[in-house]
Amino acid sequence: MSKHVLLIEDEPNIIEAVSFLLSRDGYNVSTHSNGHDALEVIEAKQPDLLILDVMLPGRSGFDILADLRGRETGEGIPVLMLTARGQTKDREMAQRIGATRFMTKPFSNAEIIETLNEMSLA
Amino acid sequence: MSAQDQKPSETSLQGRVFLERRNYRQRRLIDAARILPVVGVVLWFVPLVWPSADENGAISTSSASIYIFTIWIGLIVVGALVAWRMAPADESPNKPSGPMDESAFETRRRDRTG
Amino acid sequence: MNVLIVVSLGYVLALFTVAFMAERAARSGRIKWLRAPVVYTLSLSIYCTGWTFYGAVGFAVRSGLEFITIYLGPSLVMLGWWWTVRKLVRIGRTQRITSLADLISSRFGKSNLLAVGLTLLAVTGTTPYIALQLQSVTQSYAVFAEASQDGFNQTSQTTTALWVAIGLAMFTILFGTRKLDVNERHDGVVMAIAVEAVVKLIALMAVGIFVVWGLSGGIGPMLEKIGTSEIGMWNVSGGRWAGLTFLSAAAFICLPRMFHVMVVENDDERHLRMASWAFPAYLMLMSLFVLPIAVTGLDLLPTGSNPDMFVLTVPLSQGQNGLAMLSFLGGLSSATSMVIVASIALSTMVSNHIVMPIWLSFTGAGASMSGDVRYIVLLSRRLSIAAVVMLAYFYFVLSGGGSALAAIGLVSFVGVAQALPVMIGGIFWRGATRIGALSGLSIGFVIWIYALFLPSLGVGVVVSEAMMANGPFGLTWLAPHALFGVKGMDPILHCLLWSMLLNSFAFVVVSLCSFPAPLERLQGAQFVNVFDHARSAKEWSSGAAQSEDLMVMAQRILGAREAQSLFGIEAARQGAQGLLPEPTPEFLGVLERELSGSVGAATAHAMVGQIVGGASVSVDDLLAVADESAQMMEYSSKLEAQSTEQRRTAEQLRQVNEKLTQLSVQKDGFLSQISHELRTPMTSIRSFSEILRDSQDMADIDKARYAGIIHSETLRLTRLLDDLLDLSVLEAGRVSLNLSHKSLEDVIEGAISSAGLSDENPLLIRRTPAREDILLHTDVDRLAQVFINVISNAQKYCDADPRQLTIKAFQSKGLATVDFIDNGSKIDPDMRDVIFEKFSRVGETKAGGAGLGLAICREIMTRLGGDIVYLPGQDGTAFRVQFPIICGGQPV
């Protein structure tokens, strides 16, 4: 049974690239592209893995994650956070509020696949 | 009035004397402008005590008109003099301030800052 | 007869021309000579109406020198300008008073009830007076007709009156309501009445000089002739002498038309200084030859001739037709100028205090109504003018134009004089209250109507003979001409005495016993201490008001451009970005006064109140009122100037400090923003290039697609770098402007074609090329860059269907202004300041840009010496680009 990955990201080209890579590697991918109702979507889809961008329209990825970790249903989902700002304080913040892994854009394809594989095994 | 007559303490002696005198003149001109209509009323109400036509010592209409018109001309001339003497007080043409109380205060303040 | 018509028409045409030229001169800014003190002085001469022009001689024939009291009163008022007139004018200017009713309503807490009452009083008092003017014109016309043996009966009299009324109403509507001026000034009308003032003075003096030197042989013989005439001896009752002098003085400041020219049309307070002596001189000259003309008329004309027409009949009887014609024109001037100004003054009152409040309450809300209110105001003024003049015409017809009218002059004076106690009390006594004013005015009005006005219509018309003799229901102490048993008095004096006494008594006593509302106390302090306090009342508590709603309303009343400039000036004063100032109490006060210039104080107050959410007077304001001491006020106004200065410095320091701390935060923010904008496209590029590199068995169509994405993302990166470089060059001020000549039309044309408007989602552009015909000397490429940016923003973000963008251009004072207004949804008020910041985008759609466009636009406009701002109060998103037509050539 293939793992279900939910990708929350607003750049259409990045969505296309990441979905292409993950489906090719056997993941079952669904996507969502804004921050407003991201929480509801997560709750509804109950993914095995979550990829979450920090700078989302409507609501920041940090807010969403913090909220998610506060909920019973969202406590255990492994979350990979993506950011394009490339600042160390973003990384610290991500760790503090409970991101499983953290990556700075741009990343190599191998890097993201490996990371996800590790997360799904853990 | 007396409060406004106080000397401005910050200005130099020379400037103060000059301003004082000018302010003083302006104040008296305002007094004149205030008194003028009172004088007019008093003089023009003199006919109230004149005897009327059927009494002794009645006054002819021609003398009465000469009296009234003379006062009239006198009042106009004094009024024109007062108005003309007041005019130099406000130099700035665009300001809607005619009254002297304010412009005197303005002058003083300008003097202090300048 | 025909000559007379031609001359009258020619004269009227000349007046039209004068008024028209004056309006044109005023519009082109050549205002100085139009508003000279001498013009102001001459405009006051509308005090001398047809009634005084013809009637003074008749008055003199009947009662000797008594006629002169009508001129003595106003002379005293003007000579005593320092006491009252100066204060009225100052109050009128600072509070933007539009009429006598507005003054009193404004003073007593902006009460509309008082305004309505005074309007009714003014209309009742003035309509017969206008009728009197119609009569004097038709009568003088009839005199000429008789002289030329034409038939001229009652019917042709009413026809003449009708034509005169129609002509006057048209003139007044044309020049009196051409525009809705916030200052309520009518240059054309004022100039025309100044000319008429000269005409009537010359006419009367010409007749006088002819009589004295031409007929009597000089001053000496003339005086002798007066001495031997039937009015040769002084025979004036003391009561009437004093009473009529007082009455004319009171009427002089209370007559609606006098208040209008003296206070409302006043352009400069210093004009009073000349008028103070020159107007009494004018009056003296007007009365100088009255006695000689009267005596000569008595001497030369058959007994029983109408003495009211001596000014015409004396020259006619001597065959001096030219002189008689001049005299006729003088009378026509006196009558027409009175009707014109009186109907303007009355229509302002009727429209502001009766029509507009009713209209506003019918249409529901003042603020949220649609359409241009200025049109409604103008329309209601025009209708009011026509109504007032026609009312007077019907009064003339119904009263039969007989001698009943002749007495109406003084009757009318007594009526309007009822406003005197309230007016004087209002500007000199802070304890005067609204209830007091209402009581005084009502009692005065009732007594006047009952004891003078109704009986003056003729015994048996309204008041029966029995009632005149024995009072109503046999109550003799209530007989109209013998109130409280005071019998045998002259009716005018009798009514003047009782109405003034009881009016003032009620006003004072009720004021003493009642307590004023906070707004009344504030206004009272404002009016009484107008010379100590130049500033306006703080009537509104801030915060609740929405600036944009206020602007929408102000645009409808003041006109878009005036309102925008008013808001812009205030915004600049507050140091706010853009066009919308904070609705501070001070600004609301200013705005309300501007509005009151168009719709009256009470209405303006109500309209602002609707938006601000109810009038509220703060504790601070009340403390200011409670601070009764005049010395304290003067002292505090001095201190205030200093503490304002200090407050401003402190505020500036605080802002600088804030800016510095913000700057380091901004620098961090800027770097992470750039990082984000660069890394995002790079992520796609890296990912897809790796995909292409690693997968050999990929379909060609996918390969092409991924290569395409890489390509477009590289372009995006390049664009971003270009923008960043552009911005940094602009911000550092290192850019050199490339100045050249080009018309605004061409720049806009070029911008539209470069903006890349697509056909699939069309954006309709509406322009008026004729208004874009402005030759610019500036960096036209940079300017085009700004236009392209704004247009393509509209293309990207406008969400209406069908979509359209209106481009409006206009120029003033060396500045060109171009407004871009689309029909989509507006930008959120709290986003409006942010959109000009770097990397800010509106909405969630990533429409391609990095959010630097408007930041660059703003930098460019600053370099060109102009600005780009969000334009609030429009139907959609709107930007205003403003810049000097001739660019200074240096970075500002």
Question: What ipTM does the predicted assembly reach?
Answer: 0.91
Same domain, C53 and C182: yes
Q: Which residues of C684-699 are buried (b: 16+ CB within 10 A; e: fewer)?
A: bbbbbebbeeeeeeee
CB contact under 8 A, C676 and A16: no
Q: Give a yes or no: residue C443 inside a domain.
A: yes
Which tokens in the block code for residue C580? 């919308």
Q: Domain end: C580, C608, C628, which one?
A: C628
Interval C303-317 mean pLDDT: 85
CB contact under 8 A, C683 and A104: no
Q: Which of C79, C236, C268 sits opposite B40 (nearest CB)?
A: C79
Q: Name the pairing type of β-strands C775-778 and C740-743.
A: antiparallel
Q: What is the Cα–Cα distance from C74 to C336, expressed in whole angstroms? A: 21
| DSSP string over C763-775 | EEEEE-GGGG--E
Q: Which of C679, C688, C713 sits opposite A105 (nearest CB)?
A: C679
Task: Return the ∠ at Cα C441 (arms to C437 and C444), rounded to 5°.
Answer: 145
Residue B114's Cβ-side half-sphere holds a number of Cα atoms within 13 Å equal to 7
Cβ neighbours, 10 Å, residue C541: 20
Of C196-205, C537-546, C737-746, the range with the highest mean pLDDT is C196-205
Tell me which amino acid residue B106 is. Answer: E
CB pairs under 8 A between B and C: 130
DSSP state letter for C618: -
Backbone angles phi, psi at C290, to 5 degrees: -65, -50
Q: Give a yes or no: residue C411 inside a domain.
A: no
Per the model's pLDDT, the better-predicted residue between B73 and C774 turns out to be B73
Per the model's pLDDT, the better-predicted residue between C650 and C350 turns out to be C350
Cis omega (within 30 of 0) for bond into C518: no
pLDDT of C812? 81
pLDDT of C425? 93
Q: What is the Cα–Cα distance from C610 to C368, expressed in whole angstroms? A: 9
CA-nearest of A39, A45, A51, A70 to A11 is: A51
DSSP state letter for B56: T
Residue found under tokens 């609204």: C434
Q: How confident is the model at residue C847 (pLDDT cuts 50, 70, 90)?
A: very low
Cβ neighbours, 10 Å, residue C425: 23
SS3 category, C567: helix
Residue found under tokens 């307590």: C515
Neighbours of chain B (3+ CB pairs under 8 A): C
Same domain, C748 and C856: yes
Q: Which residues of C711-732 are buried (b: 16+ CB within 10 A; e: fewer)?
A: eebeebbeebeebbebbeebee
Interval C697-716 mean pLDDT: 87
Q: Domain end: C586, C611, C628, which one?
A: C628
pLDDT 10s digits, C792-812: 888 888 887 788 889 988 888
Tell which A residues from 91 to 120 touch C, by Cβ distance under 8 Å: 104-110
Neighbours of chain C (3+ CB pairs under 8 A): A, B
Interval C509-538 mean pLDDT: 74
Q: Is the pLDDT of residue C542 over 60?
A: no
| DSSP string over A50-118 | EEEESS-SSS-HHHHHHHHHTSTTTTT--EEEEESS--HHHHHHHHHTT-SEEEESS--HHHHHHHHHH
Q: How confident is the model at residue C491 (pLDDT cuts 50, 70, 90)?
A: confident
Do A81 and A99 touch, CB atoms closer than 8 A?
yes
Q: Give a yes or no: residue C409 inside a domain.
A: no
Q: What is the Cα–Cα distance from C197 to C99, expressed in whole angstroms? A: 22
For A21, the closest chain C residue by CA position comes to C691
Flag the least confident range among B74-88, B100-114, C372-386.
B100-114
Q: Which residues of C60-97 are buried (b: 16+ CB within 10 A; e: fewer)?
A: bbebbbbbbbbbbbbbbbbbbbbbbbbbbbbbbbbbbb
Q: How confident is the model at residue C717 (pLDDT cuts 50, 70, 90)?
A: confident
The residue ranges of every structural domain in chain A are 4-121
The CATH number of the domain covering residues in A4-121 = 3.40.50.2300
Flag the least confident range among C65-74, C527-536, C781-790.
C527-536
Q: Give a yes or no: residue C473 inside a domain.
A: yes
pLDDT of C259? 92
Q: What is the Cα–Cα distance from C554 to C373, expressed in whole angstroms? A: 10
Do C324 and C309 touch, CB atoms closer than 8 A?
no
Do A86 and A94 touch, CB atoms closer than 8 A?
no
Q: What is the Cα–Cα distance from C220 to C705, expressed in whole angstroms? A: 117
Q: Is the pLDDT of residue C280 over 50?
A: yes
Q: How confident is the model at residue B113 (pLDDT cuts 50, 70, 90)?
A: very low
Same domain, C622 and C768: no
Q: Give a yes or no: residue C374 inside a domain.
A: no
Q: What is the Cα–Cα distance from C39 to C46, expressed in whole angstroms? A: 12
SS3 category, C743: strand
pLDDT 10s digits, C624-638: 443 433 334 444 555
Domain that holds residue C713: 631-732
Q: Give a yes or no: residue C355 inside a domain.
A: no
Distance of CA C811 to the CA centre of its chain: 25
For C92, the closest chain B residue by CA position comes to B96
Cβ neighbours, 10 Å, residue C638: 13
Distance of CA C122 to the CA centre of its chain: 19
Q: What is the mean pLDDT of chain C?
A: 80
Do C510 and C436 touch, CB atoms closer than 8 A?
yes
Which tokens in the block code for residue C708? 């395409």
The number of domains in chain C is: 5
SS3 category, B60: strand
Q: How confident is the model at residue B96 (pLDDT cuts 50, 70, 90)?
A: very low
Q: What is the Cα–Cα distance from C826 to C839, expressed in whole angstroms? A: 20
DSSP state letter for C534: -
Q: What is the mean pLDDT of chain B?
A: 67
| DSSP string over C683-738 | HHHHHHHHHHHH-SS--HHHHHHHHHHHHHHHHHHHHHHHHHHHHHHHHHT-PPP-
Q: Which residues of C320-329 are buried (b: 16+ CB within 10 A; e: fewer)?
A: beebbbbbbb
Q: Which of B47, B60, B83 sits opposite C273 (nearest CB)?
A: B83
CA-nearest of C173, C149, C135, C161 to C58 is: C135
Give the residues of chain A that fall short of pLDDT 70.
1, 86
Cβ neighbours, 10 Å, residue B33: 24
Q: What is the Cα–Cα distance from C110 to C102, expressed in whole angstroms? A: 8
Interval C654-676 mean pLDDT: 74
Same domain, C492 and C565: no
| DSSP string over A4-66 | EEEEE-S-HHHHHHHHHHHHHTT-EEEEE--STTHHHHHHHH--SEEEEESS-SSS-HHHHHH
Chain C interface, mutation test: which of A19, A83, A109, A113, most C Cβ atoms within 10 Å? Answer: A109
CB contact under 8 A, C223 and B62: yes
